[in-house]
Structure 1
Amino acid sequence: MVFLDFIFYAFIVVVAIQIIFYTFFFSRFAFLKQAKKYKKNISVSVLICAKNEAENLQNFLPLVINQDYPDFEIVLINDASNDNTLQVMEQFASKHKNIKIVNVKNTEAFWANKKYALTLGIKASKHEYLLFTDADCKPASKHWIKHMTAHFSDKKHLVLGYGGYVKIKNSFLNKLVRFETLVTAIHYFSFAKLGLPYMGVGRNLAYTKTKFFKANGFVDHMKLPSGDDDLFINQVANKKNTSICVTTNSFTESIPKTSFRSWFKQKRRHVSTAKFYKLKHKILLTLIYSSQLLFWGLAILLFSIPYNWEIVLALVLFRMIFQYVIYNKSAKKLREKDLLVLLPFLEVFLIIVQLTIFINNLISKPNYWK
C-alpha cells in the first residue's frame, strides 16, 4: 500500500509539472498575438544547400525565384551531389541573374559535411541578411522573404520560422511526422518568447552574416553530422537578439518521409544534437519529456491496479483538456488543426518513438545527413 501511495503522489506531482509547463511555457506561443511587421526591403541572400536534389529543385526553386521581393539573390550550394543537381542549378542560373552557384566537392577533412558546404555558401553570399531553406521545401506564399526579413532589426539578428510538411491523406505516418513537427515548433517558439531560444529549423531560418562569423560559424560543432540549424541557434541565440515569425505567409512546406524507417533514421540524426545543447535547455527539455512519459506510464499503472481511479481519471482529463486548449490555439496558428483529433494517440506513439530513438542513439551513432 505504501508503494501504491508513492506512485499515486508521484503521479500528482507529474501532473503538476505538466500543468506548469503548459501554463507558463507553452501558453506563451499559444496565446501570442504577433504584431504586424512592416516590410523593410533589405537586401537578402537566400541559401539552399542541396545534395542529390535535382527533382526537388526543378519543382520548388521556381517558387523561390518568383518571390515578390525587390532585392534578393539565391545562393545554390551543390554539396557533392552524384545526380544531375549541378546541371539543374546551372539551367536556372543561365536564365536568372540573381542566382549564384557554389559547387562543393568532398574533401577528406569534411567528407559529406553539410556545415562545410553551408559555410562556403555563406562566404559566397553578397548580402548581410541570410535566409535559409532546403531544396525539398516550398514557400507557402510569394511573400515568404518579405515576412521573414521583416523581423530583423538593429537588435534582432536571428529569425525563427516554421517549416511544416505536406499533408498526405489517409497516412498515419504523415500525421505522426507533422505532429512531431508541431510539438517541436510549440516548444522552440514558446521558449523563444520566454527569452530562452534554444533551436530553429534549417527549413525556415534567418540570421545575419555578421552574427555567423562573429560566432566562428559552425567551428564548435563542425564534426557533428547535424546541427547546422539547432546547434548554431543554441550557441548564439538569446532573448535580446532572437525574433519569431509565425504569419502563414512566412511558412515553408517540405516533402515528408513516406516510410517509417527513413523518418526514424532522420529523427535519430536530429535528436543526436540535443546532448550538445546548453545545460539549462537540456534540463528543461528532459523534464518535459520525462514528465510526459511518466504521466502516461503512471496513469496506465494506476488504472490497471486500480488505485484511486476516480481521482486519477479526473487528473488525466484535467491535464488532457488543458493540453488540448494550448495545442488547439497553437495548431490553429500553424495550420495543423486536423491533428488534434488523434492527439492522445499521437502523443503516446511519439513518446514511444522518442524513447526508442534515445536508446538506439546510445547504442550507435546516426549517419551523415545524406
Structure 2
Amino acid sequence: MLLIIFCLFIAVVVVQFLYYVVFFGKFSFAKPQTSTPKRVPISVIVCAKNEEENVKNFVPLLAEQNYPDYEIVLIDDASSDETLEVFEAFEKQYSNVKLVKVENNEAFWGNKKFALTLGIKAAKNEYLLFTDADCYPKSNEWIKEMSANFTKEKTIVLGYGAYNKIKNSFLNKIIRFETLLTATQYFAWSKLGKPYMGVGRNMAYKREEFFKTNGFIEHMKIRSGDDDLFINQAANSKNTTICYNPESFTYSKPKTTFNDWFTQKRRHVATAKHYKSFDRSQLALFYASQLAFILLPIILLAFQFQWIIVLSLIGFRYLFAWISLGFAAGKLKEKDVMYWFPIIEIVLIFTQFNIFLTNTFSKPVHWK
C-alpha cells in the first residue's frame, strides 16, 4: 500500500512540474511586454450598484486617461444609494461620459449581465474596455496599454486586476497570492492557445465578440460570470491575447475579513463549474494535485517510507514552483507575497478544499 502511495506521490510531483514549469512557464518566463499604441476609439464601461463612495473616487481617474478618443459609459444598476446622482454629476462635468440608467426588470431583476448588456449596446465605439466600480487604473496609460494589444485578429485582451496591499495583513497576502496564481494560470493558458477566463476588473474586447455569442444569453440565469463565463465561451487561440505591462494594471480594495473573502471565492468557484469540459478538467487536475502533494507525503513520512526520496521530491517541487511563480510575481508586481509562499499555499489549498465542500451542500450568494 505504501508503495502505491509513493508512486502516486511521484506522479503528483510530475503533474505539478508540468503545470508550474511547462504550462505556467509560458507566462512566467515570457519576456517583458512592449506595446505599440493603436489609438482605436475606446468605450470604457463601468457597471455600479450601490457604489457611491467608490465611484466618487475612481471615475475622475478614468476621466484623466492619456488617450485621444474614448468615452466612459457609466451604468447605474438600479442603485438604492446615491450612485445615480453621482453619475449624473459626472455626466454634466465630463463631456465624454455617457450615463445608462437601469431599472429593475422583472425577468432580469438584480442581474448584472442585463445591466452590462444595456451598457454595451449604448456604447458608441466598437472596442470596449471593462473595469469594476471599485477599481482604479494604476496609471493614466491604462487605456493606451490595453488597447495597444488589439489587432485585426486579436479582439479580446485579458488584463491583470490586482488588489491593494494592506500592511501587516496576512489575509491580504493570501488574497494577493491567490490573485497572482489565478492570473498566472489564465495568462499561461491563453499563451498556450487555451484561454478560459478573464476578470471583469480589467479586460477588453471588440463588441462583435459579444454579439457572436449572443451576449450573456446562454448563462444569463447564472448570476455571476459576466467576465469569466463570457471569456470561456468567446475566447479562442486566434482571437485572444494578454496584457501584463504594469501600466495596464487596475487595483481594487481587497476584502478585509476572512468570511467576506471566503464568500467571494465561493461565488468564483461555483461559476467555474460552468466552464468548458477541458477547462474544468485541467483546473480540477491542478487543484487535486495541489491537495495530494500536501497529504501523500504526510502519510509516507509518518511511516518513514523512502523518507530521503520523499523529502528530496518535496524540496524539488517547492524549488520549481517558487521559481516559476516568482518570475510571474515579478511581472505582476507581487514579489512580496512570495516570501510567504509555502505557508500561504498550504492555507490556500485547504481553504479551496473547504470551499469545494461548502459549495457542494449550499449555494453562494451573488450580485448585490
CA distance in 2, matches of 1:240, 1:95: 40
CA distance in 1, matches of 2:359, 2:193: 30
1:59 to 30, 54, 57: 57
Residue 349 of structure 2 is matched in structure 1 by: 351
Which shows bigger deviation, 344-353 or 125-134?
A: 344-353
Post-superposition offset of 1:113: 0.5
CA distance in 1, matches of 2:312, 2:204: 44
Residue 135 of structure 1 is matched in structure 2 by: 133
Residue 179 of structure 2 is matched in structure 1 by: 181
Contact 1:162 1:204 in 2 (8 A): yes
2:45 to 25, 44, 47: 47
SS at match of 2:24: helix
Which shows bigger deviation, 66-75 or 268-277?
A: 268-277
Q: Structure 2, unaligned stretches of length 5 or more?
A: none
The 5 A counterparts of 1:1-370 are: 3-370=1-368
Partner deviation per Cα, 1:148-189 (whole Å, 9 max, x = no partner): 000001000100000000000011111111111010001000
CA distance in 1, matches of 2:226, 2:10: 39
Contact 2:127 2:205 in 1 (8 A): yes
For 2:144, the aligned partner's letter is K
CA distance in 2, matches of 1:66, 1:336: 26
SS at match of 1:272: helix
Post-superposition offset of 1:36: 2.0
Moved over 4 A (4+): none
Contact 1:226 1:273 in 2 (8 A): yes
Contact 1:113 1:368 in 2 (8 A): no
Contact 1:112 1:368 in 2 (8 A): no
CA distance in 1, matches of 2:159, 2:18: 26
Contact 2:34 2:245 in 1 (8 A): no
Give the TM-score of the pair, scaled to structure 1.
0.98
**Percent identity between the aligned chains?**
56
Query: How many aligned residue pairs are there?
Result: 368
CA distance in 2, matches of 1:48, 1:306: 57
CA distance in 2, matches of 1:15, 1:70: 50
CA distance in 2, matches of 1:219, 1:50: 21
For 2:294, the aligned partner's letter is W
Aligned-pair Cα RMSD in Å: 0.8
